[in-house]
Amino acid sequence: MVSTLAPQRVKPMNDYPFTPLKNYTEFPIEQMRKRVADFYEDVSRRRTVRQFSDRPVPRDIIESALRAAGTAPSGANLQPWHFVVVSGAKTKARIRVAAEAEEREFYEHRASAEWLAALEPLGTDTNKPFLETAPYLIVVFLQKFGRLPDGRKVKHYYPVESTGIAAGILITALHRAGLACLTHTPSPMGFLNDILDRPKSERPFLLLVAGYPAEDATVPDISRKALHEFVSFIEE
């Protein structure tokens, strides 16, 4: 069968507007070493916590961290994400009830013995008080497609990878501000669409708990892999 559809024309690169790269800053080698070493020293202190304080956090700090997340690279620059910031007690309580129901189903019926054994050192269970205690829950939604101003549907490319990068930048920005985070992923998370009134075309990607750690917060005594355990260099 011969298609009667005309092939879609792709514009050459020079048909699109470009602007000079103005914001790039090059540093001397020794300054580069110090900057990346300082960054590692800072980010290596980041720990996931499960005990949060209810101390308030100014909203503008959260907004700045979200602006940083919005700078993430994305497939075709389509920015396939949406962030819902929850601070209201009523909505946080609804999220906790729904999340704990999914967690009970997971721990009692869906999780394999191997999976439960892997989680055991972290001390996790079905009780999630942090969902109400922490001042902010940031729910990250992944958008498989978007809409143009004229209403036409447009496919998003690499939405999982793009949204993951944005979430990583958000976590790092919140840490940089002096806040603690917890990545929470009850499965499935469809209840978040209903509670937060998000369209079914969006998929909950991550529920991020953010705030100050509790004064008596503890963390598991675990370590991270050494560089040689997760990096390979190929030089020829």
pLDDT at 6: 47
Taking the C-alpha atoms of residue 146 and residue 156, their distance in angstroms, rounded to an integer, is 7
Taking the C-alpha atoms of residue 129 and residue 94, their distance in angstroms, rounded to an integer, is 12
Write out residues in the chain with pLDDT < 50, as ranges: 1-7
Q: Where are the domains of the chain?
A: 48-214
- Fold assignment, 48-214: NADH Oxidase (3.40.109)
Three-state DSSP at 115 gives helix
The backbone torsions φ and ψ at residue 15, rounded to the nearest 5 degrees and listed phi first, read -85, -10
Taking the C-alpha atoms of residue 203 and residue 214, their distance in angstroms, rounded to an integer, is 31
pLDDT at 203: 96
Three-state DSSP at 105 gives helix
